[in-house]
């Protein structure tokens, strides 16, 4: 049980760090403000087998112009390019970018 709580804490800390880093992402498209914090509703679906919520899919579609910028950022690449993130993108019908 303690190990599970520790793992949950580590995941939560990693997500918080990623969110803070992504918050600093530059504007990539005129109508979209690139902010990884907008994708916080996708965390459960990315880190588990839970399906993405409709809010997650909506936010992912909105942030689609920003994905290449996130992939080019060495601090974010491993999270955005993870199998969980690819699964969520596919489920939401958002093509994974080839940058």
Give the number of other Cβ atoms within 10 Å of residue 43's Cβ. Answer: 18
User: Are 88 and 49 in contact, with CB atoms under 8 Å apart?
Assistant: no
Residue 58 lies in a domain: yes
**Where residue 35 sits, what CATH number does that domain have?**
1.10.110.10
**pLDDT of res. 32:** 81
* Global confidence as pTM: 0.66
Spatial distance between the Cα atoms of 75 and 23, rounded to a whole number of angstroms: 12
Max CA-CA distance within the chain?
47
**Tens of pLDDT along 3-45?**
545 444 333 334 433 444 444 444 444 568 999 889 999 999 9
Does any domain span residue 97? no
99 assigned to some structural domain: no
Which one has a higher pLDDT value, 17 or 63?
Answer: 63
Range of the domain at 76: 2-92
Answer for the pair 92, 41: CB distance below 8 angstroms, yes or no.
Answer: no
Number of structural domains in the chain = 1
């Amino acid at each position: 049980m303690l190990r599970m709580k520790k793992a949950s804490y580590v995941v939560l800390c990693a997500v918080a760090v990623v969110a803070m880093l992504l918050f600093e992402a530059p504007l990539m498209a005129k109508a979209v403000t690139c902010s990884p914090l907008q994708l916080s509703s996708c965390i459960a679906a990315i880190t588990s087998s839970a399906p993405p919520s409709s809010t997650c899919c909506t936010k992912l579609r909105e942030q689609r112009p920003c994905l290449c910028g996130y992939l080019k950022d060495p601090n974010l690449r491993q999270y955005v390019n993870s199998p969980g993130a690819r699964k969520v993108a596919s489920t939401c019908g958002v093509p994974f970018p080839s940058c």
